[in-house]
Structure 1
Amino acid sequence: MIYNRLKNLRFFRTLLTLFNNISLHRKIVLTYFFFIFMLVGILAASIYTFTASTIRTQSTFSLQQSFNQASSYLTYKLNGISSSSDMVIYNVSLNDILNKDKNSYSVMEQVADSKTILHLMKSLQESEDIKRARIYVPDQLIYSGNGVNICPLSQAASSLWWDNLFRKKGLHLFVGNDELEDIPYRNQKCIALIRAMYRQNDYSELSFILRLDIPRSTVESILNSANYTNDSCTLLLDSRGKIIAGSNTTDSIPLSKENPDYLTLPAFTADSAVKIQLSGQSYMAMQTLIPGTEWNMVTLVPYSSFTLALTSLVKIIIGVSFLILLLAWFLSKPIAHTITRRIDLLCRYMQRTKDGILQEAPDVIYRDEIGTLYENYNFMISRIHTLLRENYQMGRELKSAEYKALQSQINPHFLYNTLDMISWLSYQNKSAQIGDIVYSLANFYKLSLNKGKYIVPISDEISHVSYYMKIQDLRFSGNI
């Protein structure tokens, strides 16, 4: 049914006509190559479909694993710093010092207490994850002007993070380097954990603020570990899309020239690998909210890099398929030649037969269909030769019979006419002429018998004709 429908198509009919008009050798080569091409194509598509699905699953799993490990490790680091802050926030000695009545707080006591506070801050700085520990205390205290580990609350009140801290009611607040009121560490950027503590006897009055500065390089090294490829990028973004920290490959993502510190991402599902479009480019993206912060950890992998294994797979499949097809093409020619060579030879012998040269083809040792054609052709030529010989022999016999029949018709008339002439000559008393005629007639019939021979010498044939002509000349009075 499908073939009948295809036959109604003009293009298919034209293609079928072209195919039928080419040589058998080319038909075999094209047919062989076509089916090999179809087989290789189906096999390549099947391999690609199965392998590509496996590679995508493995790539997605690897991306999720590296991302989840990095996010878990970052959460672990930040929780560790939060735990360190708990030691300060809930330190009994520190709270007792900063909850003293300022009216009865002597200078000597303040100096002694400042040493205790400094010792506590410096003990926090012994951790490799904390670059600097700082505490903000009321401005009335004489040690509030330390400027390194102890600062006045008025300095904190002028910072960008002040409102956000109290919007969270003094609980854990992580801020980026750009929101810090100063940059106390040359050539090193930080992020900070800020917490507020209220007076024990009056929760409406602020007692102190603790700030722990974390080297941004520590966070960036964790973000680097989440990169799935060399050109992928992992970022920490706040709720506004501002970049808090990023891996060393931030150049691989399209940032706005007007706001290079911000990245606007389309909404997509958290904690799963999703394909997104960013500035006209495709990325595989993952994001998750870091617990205890308002930050999102985001990994962006260029889709071309994510599918690099698939690209390599496609190249390998195309290369192997091309080699197989090339080998099939070269193998199809000798295979087609072995089939068509004998047919071409038989066609040449048939062409000679058409031109009148009846020659048998060489004997073949193969007993396939072509061998049967050779055998039948040779039988046909042999039969034609036999028929030609029989026909030639029959032709000769027919001519001989016709000749003899003609002779048998001629001789009675000749004899009758000669005897009639002798009779007339006898009435005229022409005995000399009668003698000549009788002599010639006797020799004529003597030579006609030829002693039973079919072939006679030319001299006898000439004498035979001469006697015949002499009798006829006498009959017609010398007019012959």
Structure 2
Amino acid sequence: MKIYQLFRKLIHSYFYEIRLQNKLLLAFLSMSLLLLGIFSSVIISHVSSFAENQLLQSATETFQQTTASLENTFYSYEQISTGLANSYLFDDLMKQDMNQYTPGEITVIRQNFERSVFASVQNHVNSTSYEVDVKIFFNDDFHYFNNRTRYFSLENYLSAPWASSITQQYSKSRRGFYILPEDLLTEVEPGNFSMARVVVDKKYYPHILALLRIDMPRKYLDQMITSTVFDNTLSAVINQDLNVLACSNTTLNSLLPDLISNYDLWKLPTKTWNEITLGHEKYLLRIVTIPHYKLMHFSLVPQKSLYSDLYRIRSFLLLSVFLTLLLCIPLASLLSHSLVIRLQQVVNVMQQVKTGNPVPFQENIPHGSDEIGNLISSYNHMVEQMQLLMQQEYEYGTEIKNAELKALQAQVNPHFLYNTLDMIYWFAKENMVNEIETSVRSLSTFYRIGLSSGKEIITLRDELSQSKAYMAIWNLRLQDAIIYECKVDDTLLDCLIIKTTLQPIIENAVSHGIREKDIPTGRISINVWADFDDLLITIEDDGVGIDSETLTKLNTDVLIRESVGHGYGVHNVQSRLQLYYGSAYGLKFSSTIGKGTCVTIRIPKKTTE
């Protein structure tokens, strides 16, 4: 269950959390690794199989050539010995009465015999680099050549293992040529083997006249079977009695007893490589019999020697796959980057939509004609439409706000004008000339700036002048119950502001702040200062204040939008400021019950439109 959950987590992470470039990189590498794995597996399998077959075929050919060479060697000596046995030299020699000859004449006869008998043997022997000794064991009837160096009495050796074996086999099979292993040659120096020929009476074959024996070093055969394709290979020649005639690798002689005791070699298949196990090692065994001489030639190859070449080939292929995979990494990274870079640019540009400032792709960025290029073209078309709609919305919104402002002015101004004119009337009745002058001048300034020849943007100087005139009229009505203060740096007076921004806020401060107090007197302070590239204006009063719930609604524009009358004017100010300057600008309310309210206006600091 945990493994399943982990697997699902990894899948979810891959599809929904990892960056697209990393996904593509992983996908490319995974596909490359999969394809390389399949390709390399197939190639390694086929190459290994082919190489194994080739190596075994080469080993088989070498093995067969060695066997043929062995057989030819034995056959050549057999032919030589057969030629000698059939040459009647022995018959003629044995028929002569040596008593008729002097010792000198016997010496001449022996020399002639040796010249005739050993000439062909010696010529063949001289073609090798090994010392070959030829011995003749005469029947005891012929004792003149019994010098115990080259000529011997057969009767003295009939009890020897080799002679006994030959006479017994000859009596049964009448086979004339024998190959004798080292084990039977007790009187011969170690490290030799022999080939023997039975010389018989032509008139009576069961009668043995002599035994011709050719002795030579065993290393002659050992070297002959040493040729092999693989390292640590053991080749050997044995007879039907499992006596070893030759062995190619003396260091591996210890394997022969185990091999001979554990496997019936004469019954194993001879046309294929047999898999066997000796100790804890696995071997391949190839057997060829030489029936004419009742010999067996076999070759024992350790599988690790065979597979060492295959391992080298496999290691080379795996290294090639690894290097190819390393090459695939930068290629996959480059390919994934080329696919993702434009998508990343699309994402970066689209992020700006969240800020309310959608921008199209730049012309210097290649678009292309693929799916990503189509996406970029569609995005650019969408941005153009959005910008057009936003411009239209701005224009419509401006027109609506201007209409709302004019409606507000049409709603407020008659009431304000009526109250002001009524106040002037009473001043006139009381012959209050100075108050009449102040009220008329303030009323004129208020409406002159409010009209502003139809302009919506005026200087801060004019906006503050209109607010001062508005407060002057209020104080005439309230008999100077409100102290009006304004602090502003002269360098900021030329900054631009939407007209009739301060008046609705001041009206709320008077009507709902100061006049709600038990003693309707108070103070209204206006402060203006620069905050980097912005202009901050605070209108602060010491009225009754606003409770926290209402304050929260004011700051979220909820109460402003739901209000009517005076609240409608504040909402209009907030809407016009944000529509004209953006959502980062507008009104901010702060208040304390019983101490007053402060409204902060943030607008860009500009001196030109």
For Structure 1 versus Structure 2, the TM-score category normalised by the shorter chain is 0.7 to 0.9
Aligned to 1:299: 299
* Aligned match for 1:179, one of 176, 184, 196: 184
Moved more, 401-410 or 108-117: 108-117
Moved more, 305-314 or 34-43: 305-314
Q: 1:327-362: CA deviations, max 9, x gaps? A: 111222222222222333333344444356655543
> TM-score scaled to structure 2, two decimals?
0.62
Runs of 5+ unmatched residues, structure 2: 127-131, 480-519, 522-609
Q: Counterparts of 1:416 and 1:74 in 2: how far apart (Å)?
A: 142
Moved more, 367-376 or 13-22: 367-376
Residue identity in the other structure for 1:402: E
Aligned to 2:209: 207
Quick check: 2:143–2:153 contact (8 Å CA) kept in 1?
no
Q: 1:297-335: CA deviations, max 9, x gaps? A: 112233333344423321221122111111111222222
Moved more, 407-416 or 327-336: 407-416
Residue identity in the other structure for 2:134: A
Quick check: 1:174–1:293 contact (8 Å CA) kept in 2?
yes
Shift of 1:468: 7.6
Matches within 5 A, 1:339-418: 339-355=339-355, 358-363=358-363, 364-367=365-368, 368-410=370-412
> Are residues 1:13 and 2:15 paired?
no
Residue identity in the other structure for 2:178: L
Cα distance change of structure 1 residues 129 and 370 upon mapping to structure 2, 3 Å threshold? same
Matches within 5 A, 1:67-86: 67-86=63-82
Residue identity in the other structure for 1:40: L
Residue identity in the other structure for 1:145: N
Quick check: 1:287–1:297 contact (8 Å CA) kept in 2?
yes
Aligned to 1:241: 242
Quick check: 1:440–1:468 contact (8 Å CA) kept in 2?
no
Quick check: 2:198–2:210 contact (8 Å CA) kept in 1?
yes
Q: Secondary structure at the residue paired with 2:293?
A: coil
Cα distance change of structure 1 residues 419 and 150 upon mapping to structure 2, 3 Å threshold? closer
Moved more, 459-468 or 77-86: 459-468
Moved more, 51-60 or 19-28: 51-60
Q: CA RMSD in A?
A: 4.2
Quick check: 1:360–1:382 contact (8 Å CA) kept in 2?
yes
Moved more, 23-32 or 438-447: 438-447
> TM-score scaled to structure 1, two decimals?
0.77
* Aligned match for 1:41, one of 31, 37, 40: 37
Sequence identity (%): 21
Aligned length: 454
Quick check: 1:24–1:340 contact (8 Å CA) kept in 2?
yes
Q: Secondary structure at the residue paired with 1:161?
A: helix
Shift of 1:14: 3.4
Shift of 1:445: 8.3
Aligned to 1:3: none
Residue identity in the other structure for 1:70: T
Aligned to 1:323: 323
> Are residues 1:277 and 2:282 paired?
no
Q: Counterparts of 1:181 and 1:418 in 2: how far apart (Å)?
A: 155
Q: Counterparts of 1:313 and 1:83 in 2: how far apart (Å)?
A: 47
Cα distance change of structure 1 residues 437 and 148 upon mapping to structure 2, 3 Å threshold? closer
Quick check: 1:124–1:133 contact (8 Å CA) kept in 2?
no
* Aligned match for 1:107, one of 95, 99, 123: 99
Q: 1:173-215: CA deviations, max 9, x gaps? A: 210233124226xxx8432222334545655554332223244
Residue identity in the other structure for 2:53: T
Between 1 and 2, higher relative CO (CA 8 Å, sep ≥ 6) is seen in 1
Q: Counterparts of 2:50 and 2:466 in 1: how far apart (Å)?
A: 109
Aligned to 1:138: 139
Moved more, 296-305 or 199-208: 199-208
Q: Secondary structure at the residue paired with 1:134?
A: strand
Runs of 5+ unmatched residues, structure 1: 1-7, 474-478
Q: Counterparts of 1:233 and 1:290 in 2: how far apart (Å)?
A: 18
Q: Which has the higher strand share?
A: 2
Aligned to 1:333: 333
Q: 1:233-252: CA deviations, max 9, x gaps? A: 321112343321123x3325
Q: Counterparts of 1:72 and 1:316 in 2: how far apart (Å)?
A: 37
Shift of 1:413: 5.3
Q: Secondary structure at the residue paired with 2:140?
A: coil
Q: Secondary structure at the residue paired with 1:453?
A: helix
Cα distance change of structure 1 residues 63 and 438 upon mapping to structure 2, 3 Å threshold? closer
Residue identity in the other structure for 1:233: L
Aligned to 1:62: 58
